[in-house]
Structure 1
Amino acid sequence: MKKQALVSFNEVIQEDERYVKIAMEIDGLVHVLMKFLNSKDTEIQEEALKSVATLCGFDLYNSVLVGMGVVSPLIRVLETGSQLGKELSTRCLMKVTTNSDNAWSVSAHGGASTLLKIRESDCDDAAGGELVGLACGVLRNLIGVDEIKRFLVEEGAIPMSIKLVKSKNESSQINAIDFIQVLASGNEFVRGLIVNEGGIRVIVGVLDPKSSYSSKSREKSMRALITLCLLPLFSVTLLNHN
């Protein structure tokens, strides 16, 4: 009955967004959904995650959901949930962290470390690669906070990202390149670390006409190179490589 109720609820809020507002205003409903996130029944947990993912899609409610404690159960799903559950959880966290004020809550609950572990798995299969790509997306949002950026750099995010650029999964590739670009933006020291780890060489390799990378991956790589080559030192490095 719980599962069917959640399925029906998801159908309603996806059909008409007006019901999202009503759901948020019903006393205790969101708390019930968060309770379901901790359910030992995988199907109930996944349906609850679908509900929360829809609610998180509205900027108006992101901070409200974080304030009500949605981050903690989402992190637990990342650690122990099913493959689908983890994917839905990362989608929720990605939406929530578009607001940098919410990044602290994710970090405080150990989310940054958990997301790094997911990225480190480097899955090349479709499902695993999608999850790794989503984890990259959440981390990209988190590095908008300087303290979290420093933590991620110290934990090896740079070599890990460079390795993912060479992944066979396009989602992982693209999100890793995006992450590197954002990480390097406005930070000369971090740019230097990326260069020292061989980042330019790997990203230039994506642009090789003989490589099998997609046009989207090549486009992302070009943007990342522009960011990395803002300083003369990096421009010289690129020219020497060519």
Structure 2
Amino acid sequence: MEEAGEDEAASAAAGSQEAELGEKGMLAEALDAISSLVSASLSATLFPLKWQRIRERLNRLHAGLADITVTAAEDRCDAFLSLLRDVAATAREAWGLVPRSQGRHYGGGKLRLRSDLDVLAAGLDACVARLDEVYASGALTRARALVVPRPGAGASRDDLRFYVRDLFARLCVGGAEMRRDAAAALSAVLRDDDKCVRVVATDVADGVGVLVALLECPDPRVQEEALEAVSAIAGSDAHRGDLVVGGAIAPLVRVLDAGAGSAAAAKERAARVLCKLTENSDNAWAVAAHGGVAALLSACAGSGGGELACAACRVLRSLAGVDEIRKHMVADAGAVPVLVSLSQGAADDAARIQAMELLAAVASGDGAAREAVIQEGAVESLAREVALRTVDALCLSPPASTDRLLAAGFLHRVLSLLRSGDGTLQHCALKVAHRLCGVSEDVKKAMGDAGFMPELVTALGAAKSPEAREMAAEALCALVSVHRNRKRFIQEDGNVAQVLQLLGPDEEKPTPAKRFLLSTLMHLADSSSGRRKILSSEHVRNLEKLAESNVPDAKRIVKKLGGSKLRSIFHGIWSL
């Protein structure tokens, strides 16, 4: 029994090897027939354009067949063998058309020759389509990473169709790296060429469906490229509806609603696609039905601002155009607290503005929504922020307008907002103070008299964003550059020590805010009282460390301070 089993296994192995050798021989025969026909067709003088198109099809077949290997799956080989036989037969039959196309004899006339060339082209098209089908079935795999090159600018639709179909074939059956490369190439060509969008939507079998399925691909690189490809289709008015019909909304919402570990870039892309799909409240019900309202509000609450929050707000504004969805957002989804929080605490202006505009859209024509906004305490905060923005835009450039503001006690109002504890208002007040410092010398003197310098030092220590710290440091440096302000700053206890403390070595290289602080210390070191304050501070070591790190401004300050006492403090480590 064992011997019989071994004989059967050996016989099966021999048969498999014979089949493989047969396939290789047939593949070589088909490739040789194609190459020979391409070479011979170059001598054809009649109907040169038709022969050019035929050569293009032959070259596509040759490239597709030359770059494959065959799997051992027996049930998949029959279709491939049949294709190889038909390709070789078609190429051999076409040989008879070459001499007829050289003008020696027509064999039925030019009309008959034209008809025969059209039949040949159609037969080759059928072979290309069958090769795509066999490849998509998994019977064939690419032997090398090289694939069909991307068509150049102005390429025909046939060339684009062949290229895009090849990319989809690799997406469907390729390995991990091949799928990533194909997804990147597909998103790039869709982004750069509108004609390819039409090809995917109309000429590739279930092309939109394949992309929709890839939206939830576990490979993040493939997923992000699929999102870019879907975004390109969503930007086409003619084919945007194909995404909705293909079921894109549900996976887009799931991408947006993924946990904290999900890539922020993927969420941003998903939100941008939903923006395009919901313009003018289109498809609003579809988004809401798949849990889109909750997912979008979650994105607003967890992002802290940025492009994700902006895109989510834009989608929600489109959804708010439907009365029933707007009521659901307020009554059930808790939209108002989320948006009020975003409008007051987002790190960037764009997100805050989007949140304000969405609040206005939600509250328009709805008494319950307006009452909810008022109860959240947003009205006063928003009104003051808008007022500050308006003053900043209209009144801080012309000197005459600035004089009127100062006469009206505007500086004291800005100063009170700096002390308010409201992060949004503090940020706006800081921007206004920063602008005021650049108006004139008299304005800087007035700000020093009003007490801005200690508040700017406090803001420097409390600010969370680099932008806010830089604005506060630059404003402080501008104020201290005025002699009267500098004298006041030195006399008030703790100011110089706080500036030195803020020089603490949190980063290897000085930030823009620290560079402005060093410039401030440079101004302070111009007076003997300033130098004494610096030397007597317990935080002078921070300045020493920056000088040790060869920070030019820090070394210049040290040199300006000078004196034997300083040299003993710094252990003679510099050659001054």
Match of 1:113 in 2: 294
Partner of 1:83: 264
> Which among 207, 222, 227 is matched to residue 49 of structure 1?
227
Following superposition, the deviation at residue 109 of structure 1 comes to 0.8
Q: What is the root-mean-square deviation in Å for CA atoms of aligned residues?
A: 2.0
**1:3 and 2:180 equivalent?**
yes
**1:103-138: CA deviation from partner (whole Å, max 9, x where unpaired):** 1111111111111112122525xxxx3212221111
Matches within 5 A, 1:135-174: 135-154=312-331, 155-166=333-344, 167-174=346-353
TM-score, normalised to structure 2's length? 0.35
Question: 1:203: how far off?
Answer: 1.3
Deviation at 1:69?
0.3
Structure 1: 5+ residue runs without aligned partners?
A: 216-242
Aligned residues: 211
The residue number in structure 2 matching 1:40 is: 218
Q: Distance in 1 between matches of 2:303 and 2:191?
A: 32
What CA deviation, in whole Å up to 9, does each residue of 1:182-219 have, x standing for no partner? 1123334423332333232121121225454489xxxx
Query: Which residue number in structure 2 is paired with residue 182 of structure 1?
Result: 361
Task: State the one-letter code of the partner of 1:21.
Answer: R
Q: Which runs of 5+ in 2 are unaligned?
A: 1-177, 392-413, 415-424, 433-576
Return the alpha-carbon distance in structure 2 between the equivalents of residues 30 and 48 of structure 1.
Answer: 10
Is the CA contact 1:87–1:134 (under 8 Å) kept in the aligned structure 2?
yes
Aligned residue for 2:283, secondary structure, equals helix
Residues in 2 aligned to 1:48 and 1:172: alpha-carbon distance in whole angstroms: 26
CA distance in 1, matches of 2:194, 2:299: 32
Deviation at 1:18, TM superposition (A): 2.1
**C-alpha separation between the residues in 1 aligned to 2:376 and 2:350?**
22
Instruction: State, as a whole percentage, how many aligned pairs show the same letter.
Output: 34
Match of 2:233, SS?
A: helix
CA shift, 1:100, in A, is: 2.0
Superposed counterparts of 1:199-214, under 5 Å: 199-207=378-386, 208=388, 209=391, 210=414, 211=425, 212-213=427-428
Tell me which of 25, 42, 47 is aligned to 2:202. 25
Rounded to whole Å, the distance in 1 between the matches of 2:257 and 2:303 is 16
SS of match in other structure, 1:119: helix
> Partner letter of residue 384 of structure 2?
G
Q: Check conservation: 1:137, 1:175, Cα contact below 8 A.
A: yes
What one-letter code is carried by the residue in structure 2 that aligns with 1:100?
Answer: S
Report the Cα offset of residue 99 of structure 1.
4.3
Aligned partner letter, 1:35: A
SS at match of 1:168: coil
User: Which amino acid in 1 is paired with 2:251?
Assistant: P
Which position in structure 1 is the counterpart of 2:242? 64
In structure 2, C-alpha distance between the alignment counterparts of 1:119 and 1:59, rounded to whole Å: 28
